[in-house]
Chain A
Amino acid sequence: MRRRVRDFALRISGLFRRGGMEHRLDSEMRFHLDMLTEKHIRAGVEADEARRLALAAFGGAERFKDDARDEYRSQLVDELVQDVRYALRVMRRSPGFAIAAALTFALGIGASTAMFSVVHGVLLRPLPYADPGRLVVLWERDVARGSDHNVVGVSTFEAWRERARSFDGMAGLVPLPATIAGAPTPERVMGAEVSPGYFRLLGVPPALGREFSAEEERSGGADVLVLSDGFWRSHFAADRTVLGRTLSIDGRPHTIVGVMPARFDPPQFAWLGEQAFWRPFGGTDNNRSWGRFLLVIARVKPTVSIEAARHELEGIAAQRAVEVKESEGWSSSLIGLTEQITGDVRLPLLVLLGAVGLLLLMAITNVANLTLGLVRRREHELAVRRAIGATSTRLLRQLVTQSAVVGLIGCAIGMVAAVAGVRGLMSLLPPEMPRTSSIRVDGTVLVFSAVVSLIASLSVGAIAAARGGRVAAQTLRESGGRAAARLRGGSLVTVEIALGLVLTVLAGLTMRTFSALRTVELGFDADRVVITRVGVSGPRYRTPGSQIQFFDQLLTRVRALPGVQSASVVSTRPFGGMGPATTLGDASAPVASDSLVADMRFADATLFRTLRIPLLAGSTFDTRDAPGAPPRIVINQTMARTLWPNGSALGKRARIPMFGGITAEVIGVVGDVHLMDARTPPRATVYLAGSRFPSTTWDVVVRGNVDPETLTRSLRHAVTALDPAVPTYWVSTLESLVSGTLARDRFTAVLLGTFAVVSLLLAGVGIYGVFAGDVAQRRKEIGIRVALGAPTSGVITLVMRRAMTRAILGITLGMGGALLAARGMASLLFGVASTDPLSFITVALLLLVVAVAATLVPALRAARVSPLVAIRVDR
């Protein structure tokens, strides 16, 4: 063995280090020549003559150097070329094999490459900021409720920033939806308020101008702006003289001081979405009293471990909990920015990548099967070639070369398919998927693909060599005779069934999850409901009265539109993301720190009718709910049951810490509504009257026989008629919002479902291939059995029994694997247990059916074998 390794190493070094070898040859020859010359001189010949004689004796020095060189470099390359030619010839002769094998390979490689490029883009590629591993997101932690990631109060943020020594910078952020004046219509754009130093913190300086200075943080932030590259191009035609010009935001002129580069992709998480501009954020006495609303990003010093930073922050939070009443019961938590942004999609993506891996394994198994089939068919040829002098090593090497050639062709097709596959995947990706812009087929992806291809080809080669080895080693006399090595792909069948079962179970569970989510009772009727947001701003709407008047008039006009059945306003539409929430309690009970957390929604009296939320008791708002009047609330069933489990909630009073602390009388109880998504169970919800708590921005909810476009247009007209400076935006149907929250589950279900179907096909084809080959190889034996009187059913049983033993073993193994895999993805499931017996049993039966169907054809063929085969001369 050691000798063989050294032999190989020498050949390889001979191949690549030709220079060294030439040098050695030259030195040895020169030495030899010199010695020969000296010998002649010693014998009394003149020096010149001696040299001439030596050279003559030496003869064709170059020719014999060639011989020596050949010994050195070996025939490896020649043989390789021969083997590749041979492989291509075999493939030309068996095009069916070649096409099937290459396509199967292409499928495995293509799918895994495409999936990997998504995983790489979303999860693995570093965030486009300086040293992104040191960037963290800081949250306040609600200790009593075990809620880790709460937004941060302004004074808490300021205390952290002032006291913590572990960070190189800390910035608060808050999304800023704003109306910008413009022609022909005012426009609603999303921006953000950020602490000065935010861009430096991320390590991305503006392309033009400067970022905010520390002074611009004072008194709630100066009226200056940094624009995104996109906004600068669309609104200022990429004008480089834009600095110093003003832009009116919410009716206030702002001076443009900077433009970010095109490559700047601001972090998006929680409710921080796309950002077109930034203005400085600063703490004021006012916003310090608003409660918690800030997102905080910080950079941990390179000399400090993330753990130490977390520890320090917790220490500061503990001090604050003693010092400040509002911080009592609150600690802090810290999470890496990357994890914050991609944490939610990590598991689904990894599950999909794993599934694709299983598919690739099946593809490899199938190609190995096909190769074995080919070996089996060429058994006789191999034996003949061995008889006339081919070594079994050489024959084996040809098998491996052949797999490699098939593998290379398949991989080439697979990589091309992957590019198309990535495009397909991108169109399927759920809209909430972060970082989709960084998904692309790049060098890393191609290297991954090449490595996977190499491993796949070598695996097939290794399987073919291990199992085909006996055929290659057998002699002519043995071939076809009783001693013939029988190539049974039995264990390959087991593997295919097991892998197929795992994939199909995972697909079954996600599909059941998806259908369970779709059938969740949401508590409202989403059919034919269109929602748009309308926001007023500027001096005209400073007073609550003017805001109320505008929206009252708007609703009156909208209700008069043709086809509109009902129109209402609500502060945050259902399935429209996070809205405000607060702790509250029964006003007659003492304040407890673990009081109930309730979602808060502001609405007009007709919202429940428009959304068809049932009014279970009491009534809804009326003219009594005017500004300054005693606040009254409508609550949902969960809240009524939790706070007042015995007896009616009507007439009871709740203590609500918002608006400086109010107590409100319960006037109605409505049905529970899923506000966030279908997955999250509804929690306690309080509805407050929009007429009592006016606002500048509302979601206008309209039910009617109107298509969204027409409705938006007429709504737009209605708004313009009232005030042409008011923008309408974020138009959606309630149904699309609902299905939008299911996008991720749909994505996983669709992909896993597709993988499962493909895996069943692969398993079917694989099993068929094995047993068709098996029957072909055992024709003679079967013929003898038939000649001796075996009934047709006996022959069929003979074949089927072997297949079923393998299949049942595979199903057993697959069940174990599927149980493990399903447990790993349990957190993605909904409405179905990860051990759901129905899914497991159904899938097991399905696999059994596939196995039976795939074996039946070869079994029937076996049953038709004529007894004459038994007495016929070999081949």
Chain B
Amino acid sequence: MGDKARGDVLQGTLDMLVLKSLQLGPMHGWGITERLDVGSERVLQVGQGSLYPALYRLERQGFIASEWGTTENNRQARFYKLTTAGRKRLAEERASWVRLSRAVELVLQMGEG
């Protein structure tokens, strides 16, 4: 599914992205995919098959919490929000992501000086 230009998201990265998208405020599953879609300028498309297991996993780990709520169109949806632990987790993941991507970039730039 999806063309090659669009990136599949590594699982560990997905968790970070979900946490990040919830940093903007509580949101339901659909809203999260939209946020990621828009935020990545359509590059990152997260399938439901990955999203919901990730949400449940994060909830079980205590990084996010959820409750039933109403959307602007007056529909029932499960809203997820970041917990304090989740906020901390996001900061950590983000720091290590920066370190990793910088390292990868450095390697890729070798000899291109």
Contact = CB atoms under 8 A, between A and B. Distances in A.
Contacts of B60: 7, 10-11, 71-72, 74
A59 B47 contact: yes
Given A10-B59, A58-B48, A67 B30 contact: no
Interface in A47-101: 57-61, 63-65, 67-68, 70-72, 74
B9 to A, nearest CB: 15
Nearest to A66: B53
A68 B53 contact: yes
B38 to A, nearest CB: 12
B12 to A, nearest CB: 15
A7 B61 CA distance: 6
Interface string B25-65: 00011100100000000000001111011001101111000
A71 B29 contact: no
Nearest to A28: B78
A10 B56 CA distance: 10
Contact of B48 (A3, A24, A64, A71): A64
A60 B57 CA distance: 20
A31 interface: yes
B28 A31 contact: yes
A27 B69 CA distance: 12
B52 A68 contact: yes
Contacts of B100: none
Contacts of B76: 27, 31
A3 to B, nearest CB: 4
A64 B30 contact: no
A865 B94 CA distance: 58
B13 to A, nearest CB: 17
B77 interface: yes
A130 interface: no
B4 interface: no
A872 interface: no
A35 interface: yes
Interface in A590-606: none
A7 B62 contact: yes
A34 B73 CA distance: 12
Contacts of A27: 76, 78
B85 interface: yes
Contact of A31 (B47, B59, B77): B77
A61 B61 CA distance: 24
Nearest to B54: A71
B24 interface: no
A57 B29 contact: no
A6 B61 CA distance: 9
B48 A29 contact: yes
A28 B78 CA distance: 7
Nearest to B66: A24
B52 A3 contact: no
Chain A, interface size: which category? 20 to 34
A67 B49 contact: yes
B85 A64 contact: no
Given A3-B85, A57-B1, A58-B48, A32 B29 contact: yes
A760 B42 CA distance: 78
A292 to B, nearest CB: 76
Contacts of B30: 31-32, 35-36
A61 B33 CA distance: 16
Nearest to A56: B1
Interface in A26-42: 27-29, 31-32, 34-36
B45 to A, nearest CB: 10
B102 to A, nearest CB: 29
Contacts of B53: 64, 67-68, 70-71
Contacts of A24: 78
B49 A32 contact: no
A28 B29 contact: yes
Contact of A32 (B48, B50, B57): B48
A108 B15 CA distance: 52
A31 B75 contact: yes
Nearest to A14: B60
Contacts of A64: 47-50, 52-53
A59 B28 contact: no
A28 B62 contact: no
Contacts of A74: 60
Contact of A72 (B49, B56, B61): B56
A3 B28 contact: no
A60 B48 CA distance: 10
B109 to A, nearest CB: 35
A609 to B, nearest CB: 93
Contact of A59 (B29, B49, B59, B77): B49
Nearest to B45: A57
A23 to B, nearest CB: 11
Contacts of B75: 31, 34
A34 B48 CA distance: 13
B62 A6 contact: yes
Contacts of A11: 60
Interface string B84-98: 010000000000000
Given A7-B60, A36-B30, A71-B60, A28 B49 contact: no
Contacts of B77: 28, 31
B70 to A, nearest CB: 11
Contacts of B85: 3
Most chain-B Cβ atoms within 10 A of its Cβ — which of A31, A34, A57, A61?
A31
A72 B57 CA distance: 7
A28 B1 CA distance: 22
Between B50, B53, B56, the greatest number of chain A beta carbons within 10 A of the residue's beta carbon is seen for: B56
A142 to B, nearest CB: 73
B110 to A, nearest CB: 33
A68 B47 contact: no
Nearest to B58: A71
A698 to B, nearest CB: 87
Contacts of B50: 64
A29 B1 CA distance: 19
A31 B56 CA distance: 16
Contacts of B29: 28, 31-32
B65 to A, nearest CB: 9
A140 B76 CA distance: 78
Nearest to A74: B60
A470 B82 CA distance: 36
A34 B62 CA distance: 28
A68 B56 contact: yes
Nearest to B62: A3
A87 B29 CA distance: 42
Residue of A7, A63, A64 ringed by the most chain B CB atoms within 10 A: A64
Nearest to A21: B56
A95 B82 CA distance: 52
Contacts of A57: 1, 47
Given A32-B30, A67-B53, A59 B78 contact: no
Contacts of A72: 56, 60
A434 B53 CA distance: 65
A67 B75 CA distance: 26
B67 to A, nearest CB: 11
Contact of A28 (B33, B52, B57, B61): B52
Interface string A406-422: 00000000000000000
A71 B78 contact: no
Contacts of B28: 28, 31
A296 B60 CA distance: 68
Nearest to A24: B78
A344 to B, nearest CB: 60
5 contacts: A6-B62, A24-B78, A27-B78, A57-B47, A74-B60
Given A10-B60, A68-B52, 16 more contacts: A3-B62, A6-B62, A27-B76, A27-B78, A29-B52, A31-B76, A31-B77, A57-B1, A59-B49, A64-B47, A64-B53, A65-B52, A67-B49, A67-B52, A71-B53, A74-B60
Interface of A: 3, 6-7, 10-11, 24-25, 27-29, 31-32, 34-36, 57-61, 63-65, 67-68, 70-72, 74
